[in-house]
Structure 1
Amino acid sequence: MLSRPRPRLLAPLLAAALVGALTGCSLLDRDAAGTPAAQPSAGTAGGGSQLEIPTTVAAGQVSLLQRLGADGPLRTLSVERNGAWQCLDCAGDGVTSRGTLAPELTERLQVLLANPALTTETDQARKYRTTCIDALTSSLLTSTGLITSQDCPGEERTAVAGEILLLLTQATPAEVNG
């Protein structure tokens, strides 16, 4: 008898697909000489001393992946339940930053992440497809699923995920620079 795939496996698969799409279908980048240079490896949010690109997050955690256009730097921000955050290439300068959200922002973030409406904003629920070229693409990885948006004309903003995105980009060192 065949068993049905479990929904909890969907988020890691979507995250892996997103990472592939955002990194040009490869976790390798090329330097000026055309030699491959390894990128951070995939893992879970908040692991180890080196920031990793997340593929799953637990309840109360969130990761933000942003890229401006197809060739822009990948900004990876991971926030733990307690408000501790790590950001790889926050300003597009290759620098890894760490910090902690203010207590009121941590509390607000937890309220937003627990909002049941977030489940209706996932890419799967909205049947989301990217539509713009060379736009800023932002993907939030939450325990409810992946939520992607682009800064392009006519794109409707998701209410809860839009607030999370705004909170994260205003509370960390910098936004992606083009």
Structure 2
Amino acid sequence: MAPTQWFRVLTVCAGAVVLAVTLTACSVFAGDETSTRDPKGTGAGGSSGANRVSLVQKLGQDGPLRSLDVEPDGRWKCDDCAGDGVTSTGTLKPEQVQRLHGLLADPRLAQETDQVRQYRATCIDALTSSLLTTVGLITSQDCPGEERPPVAYEILLLLTQATPAEPTA
């Protein structure tokens, strides 16, 4: 009977992370369309939306929820980055922006989405990281033996190393 209870706990935790990512996505990807267009309104800059990315991390069931949004130009905003309730902002270095854009454009990223991998959370009290990109949601956990999607993991490393501290317990 215990395995069924743990499965329900995992399902609820995974659902909470997915909900948080979805809500963040609404604010990041449903912004004003005119902001991605050139001044003449031709939509020439519309592809820049492909370079937006959000990261939501949660450590275990009771840990803080870290939410990071990165704009195509490298500006970022992070809510509760260090688990201290503080909102931080900054800008990625030009070489980091270029690297991020290259990773987001990598065609392998589309094969790493939760839907394609049929991803299911398997660990309890692990750090769960969910990246939201234009190709979809990509979730991973810091669990022994869990295979990390390679392109998404590179994005995760880039974002966590270029912004304030990881969530703390």
Change (3 A) 1:164 1:67: same
Answering whether residue 146 of structure 2 is matched by residue 151 of structure 1, we say: no
Residue 152 of structure 1 deviates from its aligned partner by 0.5
Report the counterpart of residue 132 of structure 2 in structure 1: 141
Residue 18 of structure 1 deviates from its aligned partner by 8.8
Alignment of 1:157-168 (within 5 A): 157-168=148-159
Report the counterpart of residue 52 of structure 1 in structure 2: none
Q: Give the structure with the higher percent strand.
A: 1
Residue 19 of structure 1 deviates from its aligned partner by 8.5
Paired letter, 1:45: V
Answering whether residue 66 of structure 2 is matched by residue 75 of structure 1, we say: yes
Structure 2 regions of 5+ residues with no counterpart?
A: 1-11, 33-47
Paired letter, 1:141: L
SS of residue paired to 1:45 = helix
Report the counterpart of residue 113 of structure 2 in structure 1: 122
Alignment of 1:43-122 (within 5 A): 43-45=26-28, 58-122=49-113
2:123 maps to which of 132, 137, 157:
132
1:22 maps to which of 7, 10, 17:
17
Higher RCO, 1 vs 2 (CA within 8 Å, ≥6 residues apart): 2
SS of residue paired to 1:58 = helix
Q: Percent identity?
A: 64
Residue 71 of structure 1 deviates from its aligned partner by 1.0
Misfit runs of 4+, over 6 Å: none
Alignment of 1:162-177 (within 5 A): 162-177=153-168
Aligned-residue Cα RMSD (Å) equals 2.5
SS of residue paired to 2:51 = coil
| Distance in structure 2 (CA, Å) of the matches to 1:58 and 1:161 | 17
Confirm or deny: 8 A CA contact 2:103 2:155 kept in the other structure.
Answer: yes
| Distance in structure 2 (CA, Å) of the matches to 1:101 and 1:128 | 30
Confirm or deny: 8 A CA contact 1:66 1:136 kept in the other structure.
Answer: yes
Residue 58 of structure 1 deviates from its aligned partner by 3.2
TM-score (norm 2): 0.76
SS of residue paired to 2:98 = helix
Q: How many pairs does the alignment contain?
A: 139
Per-residue deviation, residues 76-130 of structure 1 (Å, max 9, x unmatched): 0000000000000000000000000000000000000000000000000100000
Structure 1 regions of 5+ residues with no counterpart?
A: 1-16, 28-40, 49-56
